Structure 1
């Protein structure tokens, strides 16, 4: 194999064997080697029939897909040069790439074309759409031809593909790679025999990067094994592709494996302290054995974990950046084989490789066969020399940048990698980038990655980026969630962490200044810091001072991680993100924002949030989806994967509540059925004991009981400050009213064990369960009222931690509109003093209840303020409860 054209022409020999498997929302599409080869062969003469000639550049501006691969291989077969463009590239960089590459044709998608036209309405690019309808004249399949290609056969030194660097230090540079470069690297990897005959490659990385292109795509295709594309980079979709795709081989980057390991730890932690303790003891033992012997016990010890996460996965391949040695050993301790590599776009990309069985994870690996590595003499005051490389995989020079090309090579033809390191026992050790090395006025050399790694171990530091400011070391900090959740001085917590972690560093590595930013640090797709942007971010954060950690509004799109930007390309996901930004304007909305802790979404708030989201966006989540949601990213992802949500067609929850049975399963409906003789008797006993206890211990008394409707059901809407509130209500309700009253109880309290479930059953309490979806609990309330029962509904999202009245959620408004019954406001005073939030020991203080006049939904809607009828009703009810409380305090 001398050229990539040789590889393409060999694909058809694998016939019907699967070559590409792509996961979509509700389907999986598989292309055979024969189908892929057929499209490539037919596309080549079709392109040649246009005004394209061998050597011309053709853009590829689209996410991973089988069509992307066919377009790329067809272009190479035709002798053209595909320009692989990052689909998430910023506007300025995208304009530069289009102009610098000289491309006139571009394979793209409808969304990509819209962006290209927005950036340059007068562009002369001719689009070929990879996702067009078959009757669209721009559909890529229309360019396939049965004619024989007339393109001349490529030679090894011809340019095969044009890449652009990820732009960590400025505008992307064009890196043309020849057939010789790519084939040499490809063959060297195959010769290591890391890829087995029955492998199934999972490739979550974008193909515009040379690591994903060479190692993740060309290598498995050359080996005759399939490549799997997940639907997205989110955790659930990766797990789906791993399991359903039966992936054995995963090509990833360090940040992906960090997230994978954190996900495993989180899942174990959720199973209790014993499970967590056993997991870590077992892992420590497995790691120790792997470090000091050839004994591998991880696959056996963690067999249940492998079955749950990825039953067939055996090999992890990591590239793009250095994987922390500790994490590498943890992954191997779990029972995975692990291979790591080092290289650059300019080297096609692999220079060194850590082969399983003889890997040294504290190094970048040993040079590939045919690759020569040298270390240049250190230039004072540097301690380490620059890594130099020569081999058939090394490119010849940058596109349109002769000066940069001359700077990139030594006089004897070695490529200057820009990395600093040393060789020991044939293995390459890397210590940092020469361009990123910080030299302080005193001559001290600082490796920023070394300091960043130490600082990032702090409990309150999520990300750290070290830079030089006014002759001193400075650091830009992204706080960890723990820093904001503790409610204290974020700056003080960060300062304490910096001081604590700095003690591990040499004195000249100590931090002289820091700034806090709420936004993720700017990174490339592979997780590398875009350091040239740090100075401006630091100065901006410093100007804002303490306010920098408390900014409000949504995180700008361009500052998001690539996987989050990709997620928001889904219409439902973007709709939910924009809706959340409007719903929570006073917080810094980020993908990692925790709904419960950061936004205060708790218990009944889940109901209103889901209802409002369904009404405003048309996207509703089922029980299973709600149970998976913890962060904004989770909510957006679940919405993206849910059908519905078409523009302008929100589902009307009022219409759906008109048929409450359709929203409930038999297990839910049983909670409002008559409890039976034994349970009813227990309920009478419990109510009797409650009345005795509340009268004797808390002197409970009530005013306004005569306001309660006698001949029709009603909804009782009290404030909520204590677990004693429902007990106080039950103690004062007339017996005939009490025995036909149902209660809405949060599952986290009233249904957490068998005893509490029996108490709930006997007292007529049904579950308010956020995991069941927004309408299910309301549907139970509707059924209870239609059957002639009264209903007690706490309209605040949870108990008030301060004792002050909180806003009422709009779910009460929808409930009142769905069932034509009056609402009775109720003020409960004294229960907060008797048993406030956070206390489990009651103080025997008087509790009083004041019932207000009943009101219909129509009356309340006219009184209240708000955008929607449900919000106006809820606001009016809150005002009525507040007035009752004011009168009670005045008396």
Structure 2
């Protein structure tokens, strides 16, 4: 391969790749594909246009926009023009943004509409070019006029990129990196056996950090590989981009991979006992084999998972912060190769690399070729970088097991901070050795192991040294603890804990979780005091905990002050891009709707609809219908599937309004067949004669087993209507509920009955799918396909059948009646058929959620009087018809549950 000496040479070589895909960016309108020829042409045009504006060597050009093909092209153009790129976080606060622009002396900024408005509000003294504007806009980057003559010669020592580190205190520091620094990194990575010529690289990170800029953008482009960009940095959009883009590698951070693992585990738990046990067994076996023999079988054992996330995905590259060793082994157990890198912005970034396939996943690897690393064992453990008297020699060592501050020297290390000579002097010791501020040691195998940061080290009252990250990783293993930040409070190890509400309900409180995890730690590393917060902690966009903000949050919680008020965040506190989005009247209307609908929650652009507001698939039904009625806009099922945050939702409704998709005023349940694909229609087809015979046999066996094990008592069976359509709405406490209802219905009714069953449970494997087909189950998907799920239920009723629908949506974790989801209300609001409230007793004791042990218990089923939806609507509470019907139906089921168990006299005992 060519060995360029500057990034300008790299830009000049792009055209050789011609028709290969350079950038594949997913957006609201689909995927935008740029070839290498197109990227090279645009970069050359813009570079010449910048030259015509007088931008050249020594100048700085800011980049204030989200990643995309235009962003990449403009950044490459700046490099080719001989100027320095200044990538900026679009979420910087105004004061920091102004400081960075002034400190960098940026003459020009590539930005978008939101950024341009923000820069205008700040009266920033620089010229702006919009990346998202067409040629009709005078500020569009497309209107740059090419200058005449040759592009400038760029020297290897010239500054290429100026990054600004956020830091924990004081103003952001500028870190200039030269062409030498960055070319060294791209060549090192190209020769490290990390990627192949067939790789497709997904980068779900913003480019204002050196890690994604160099490893995720420059390196793949230098190798002629496609760079894949998701529409947004949310789980569903990242998975969509990985799958549709054919990604083979992800350039991610530990926080992303933690979310991937927790999402897989949560989805497995939702699917039921079989899925959970299978995942745990498969993961344990595959991880054990990988650790003991190096053999990887996870991709075969968990093939459905890989098909969903991305069948071609093979490598998960992790950087930006330490990756927990236990998590790394789990990811390898799933069948993915894990690569780990370590470095800092000042080292551009890579110092060490632990490539895929190595056995030391707890390490950050060995130093990359050309880079030297030593350990300074004399670093003082006082929470600050040690300062020695002038002239005091530094003790260097690379002896195994000696812990201290990590020092680095090599072609990737920068020369010094911009305009900060005092900080530069503090950062270097000896003969050009850069002080990383990280603590670590070398193992016998030559691998480097990190133990924490000098600046965050906690020294307890007993004199013990404690690193917060190690404690956080340990306590995060408990599902009750969603987030945790460890800090020092009066010489004690303290923590601010954000619990997972769902896990708390099923597994006990925070106190029990802390006590349980503390038992596995030495006394001095245990949390000695903690506070609980309902608001998420603050992180950088690379997933690092903002520890200076953690201390402030902890103190506020400690004295009982609210950390964040519920309700919508004031507009003046929003980023410029979000304020611009809320200028759209449709988005603004939905913003107000969310604030009114969830008054006890904090409504911010980054608020997660599912985790923070509890918007699951059934809640989506009511919410999407309400959006249609109030905002007069229609959201499609595909759009709903990809909405993760409030910002995603606002963008979706704004785009739908711009596209003219006006709400029709009709519920999608009025014509359910239009919502169903061919794959879904098969659930409504009649059984073949052979299937019908198998179904009768299956029901007979079920009836016999129920009679032996559970001796069902039935009350109110005669109350069921003679014929359908009608709905039976029972409480739900066990997997046995459906089997017991089937055991007490006669053959004629069973032949007309259809069951709503969770798709993740009933259709999770071939055997279950066969049983589901014979039992005439229609799938209810708790994760997606909201409208088509309800359309199936509506189609069942439209055909005159009996539908059994569990309105709670999931089994009760404690046997108590839960709130009813609005799905049943939506069905009954459209199909005004009778509904029979039903209460089941005893199945919770026989097989509670999470248990694999079946117990013989006496079970009873009480069918209530059929009731019309009109009557429920009059009696219920709520702001919508769906909510009133659901609440009134729940009240009737609850009243049945308050009745005393049936006496022997009058029981309809199954015989």
TM-score, normalised to structure 2, is 0.75
Structure-1 residue corresponding to 2:281:
277
Answer yes or no: is the 8 Å Cα contact 1:479–1:494 preserved in 2.
no
Aligned in 2, Cα 1:299/1:144: closer, same or farther, shift over 3 Å? farther
Structure 1 unaligned blocks of 5 or more: 291-295
Question: CA, structure 1 residues 84+718, in 2 after alignment: closer, same or farther (shift >3 Å)?
Answer: closer
Mapping of residues 391-540 of structure 1, within 5 Å: 391-410=410-429, 412-423=431-442, 426-480=446-500, 483-486=503-506, 488=508, 490-502=509-521, 505=522, 507-540=523-556
Give the deviation of 1:165 after TM superposition. 0.9
Q: How many Å apart are 1:518 and its aligned residue?
A: 2.9
Compute the displacement of 1:809 (Å): 6.7
What SS class does the counterpart of residue 747 from structure 1 fall into? strand
Q: 1:370 to 1:543 in 2, by over 3 A?
A: same
Task: Answer whether contact 2:24 2:33 (CA < 8 A) is retained.
Answer: yes
Using the alignment, how far apart are the partners of 1:740 and 1:268 within structure 2?
30
1:27 is matched with 30
CA distance in 1, matches of 2:459, 2:339: 34
Q: 1:805 to 1:227 in 2, by over 3 A?
A: closer
**How much does 1:136 deviate?**
1.6
- Look up the SS of the partner of 2:504 in the other structure: helix
Q: How many Å separate the matches in 2 of 1:838 and 1:581?
A: 40
Structure 1 window deviating more from structure 2 (308-317 vs 32-41): it is: 308-317
1:16 and 2:35 correspond: no
CA distance in 1, matches of 2:451, 2:566: 38
Deviations 1:325-364 (A, max 9, x none): 4444555566655443222111111223335577754443
The question of whether the paired residues in 1 share the 8 Å contact of 2:587 and 2:653 is answered with no
Q: Which of 597, 603, 616 does residue 583 from structure 1 map onto? A: 597
Answer whether contact 2:756 2:804 (CA < 8 A) is retained: no
Asked whether the equivalents of residues 184 and 412 of structure 2 are also in contact (C-alpha less than 8 Å), the reply is: yes
Q: Which moved more, 1:794-803 or 1:414-423?
A: 794-803
Structure 2: how far apart are the matches of 1:471 and 1:791? 62
Residue 614 of structure 1, CA deviation: 5.0
User: What CA distance in whole angstroms lies between the structure 2 residues aligned with 1:812 and 1:301?
Assistant: 39
SS at match of 2:520: helix
* Cα distance change on mapping 1:609 and 1:702 into 2, 3 Å: farther
Conservation of the 8 A alpha-carbon contact between 1:796 and 1:809: yes
1:651 counterpart (655, 663, 672): 663
Indicate conservation of the 8 Å contact 2:837/2:892, yes or no: no
The verdict on how the C-alpha distance between 1:872 and 1:72 changes in structure 2, with shifts beyond 3 A counting, is same
1:662 aligns with 2:682: no
The answer to whether 1:374 aligns with 2:374 is yes
Q: Does 1:97 align with 2:100?
A: yes
Check the 8 A contact 1:619/1:644 in 2, yes or no.
no
In structure 2, distance between residues paired with 1:611 and 1:361: 48
Name the residue aligned to 1:346: 346
Query: Shift in Å at residue 46 of structure 1?
Result: 1.1
Supply the distance in 1 between the matched residues of 2:419 and 2:241 (Cα, whole angstroms): 41
CA distance in 1, matches of 2:283, 2:805: 43
2:756 equivalent to 1:746: yes
Question: Is contact 1:742–1:784 with CA below 8 Å preserved after alignment?
Answer: no
Q: State yes or no: 1:128 paired with 2:129.
A: yes
Q: What does 1:120-199 correspond to in 2, within 5 Å? A: 120=122, 122-145=123-146, 147-149=148-150, 152-192=152-192, 194-199=194-199
Structure 1 residue aligned with 2:72, among 52, 69, 72?
69
- How many residues are aligned here? 842
Distance 2:615 2:866 in 1: 29
CA distance in 2, matches of 1:483, 1:515: 18
1:715-864 aligned at under 5 Å gives the runs: 745-748=755-758, 818=830
Does structure 2 conserve the Cα–Cα contact (< 8 Å) formed by 1:61 and 1:109?
yes
CA deviation after TM superposition for structure 1 residue 378, in Å: 0.7
More off after superposition, 672-681 vs 34-43:
672-681
Separation in 2, partners of 1:367, 1:182: 16
Alpha-carbon spacing, 1:451–1:572, altered in 2? closer, same or farther (3 Å): farther
Conserved 8 A contact 2:201-2:216 = yes
Task: State the shift of 1:188 in Å.
Answer: 3.5
**Contact 1:175–1:397 under 8 Å retained in 2:** yes
Q: Secondary structure of the equivalent of 2:317?
A: strand
User: Equivalents in 1 of 2:310, 2:816: separation in Å?
Assistant: 49
Cα distance in 1 for partners of 2:114, 2:54 equals: 25
Q: Any conservation in 1 of the 2:598–2:613 contact (CA below 8 Å)?
A: no
CA distance in 1, matches of 2:228, 2:814: 53
* Offset from partner CA, 1:643-683 (integer Å, 9 cap, x none): 97427965345365554543456787788899999989999
Structure-1 separation of matches of 2:206 and 2:159: 21
In the alignment, the residues of structure 2 paired with residue 444 and residue 246 of structure 1 have an alpha-carbon distance, to the nearest angstrom, of: 49
Distance in 2, Cα, partners of 1:47 & 1:68: 15
CA–CA separation in structure 2 for the residues paired with 1:393 and 1:179: 10
> Compared with structure 1, are the counterparts of its residues 740 and 334 closer, same or farther at alpha carbon in structure 2 (3 Å cutoff)?
closer
SS at match of 1:147: coil
Q: Report matched runs for 1:288-303 at 5 Å.
A: 288-290=292-294, 296-298=295-297
The 1:851/1:56 distance shift into structure 2, 3 A limit, reads: closer
- Cα distance, 1:175 vs structure 2: 0.9
What is the Cα deviation at residue 128 of structure 1?
0.9
* Structure-2 separation of matches of 1:430 and 1:724: 52
Distance 1:837 1:637 in 2: 39
Tell me the equivalent position of 2:904.
Answer: none
Corresponding residue number in structure 1 for 2:321: 321
Q: Deviations over 1:500-535 (max 9, x none)?
A: 233xx2x43343211122333322222222211121
CA distance in structure 2 between the aligned counterparts of 1:351 and 1:673, rounded to whole angstroms: 61
Aligned partners of 1:745 and 1:768 also within 8 Å: no
> How far apart are 1:777 and its partner, in Å?
6.9
**Cα distance in 2 for residues equivalent to 1:303 and 1:221:** 32
Does the CA contact (< 8 Å) of 2:55 and 2:81 recur in 1?
no
Cα separation, 2, equivalents of 1:787 and 1:331: 47
Relative to structure 1, the CA distance from residue 783 to residue 433 in structure 2 (aligned partners, 3 Å threshold; closer, same or farther) is closer
- Indicate the RMSD between aligned Cα atoms, in angstroms: 5.6
Q: In 2, distance between residues paired with 1:363 and 1:755?
A: 47
**For 2:819 and 2:331, how far apart are their aligned partners in 1?**
47
Note closer, same or farther for the CA distance 1:520–1:653 as it changes in structure 2 (3 Å cut). same
Describe how 1:845-884 pairs up with structure 2 within 5 A. Answer: 867-868=879-880
Q: Distance in 2 between matches of 1:538 and 1:256?
A: 25
Q: Residues of 1 paired with 2:195 and 2:798: CA distance?
A: 65
1:609 Cα offset (Å): 5.1
**Contact 2:742–2:750 (CA<8 Å) still a contact in 1?**
no
Q: 1:14 deviation in Å?
A: 3.3
Q: Which residue of 2 aligns with 1:49?
A: 52
Distance 1:432 1:53, change over 3 A: same
| Distance in 1 (alpha carbons) for counterparts of 2:614 and 2:620 | 11
Tell me how far apart the structure 1 counterparts of residues 296 and 780 of structure 2 sit (CA, whole Å).
Answer: 45
* Deviation per residue, 1:597-641 (Å, 9 max, x gap): 994969x7675455445545645454x898x79xx9499979978
Q: 1:865 to 1:164 in 2, by over 3 A?
A: same
Matched, 1:38 2:41: yes
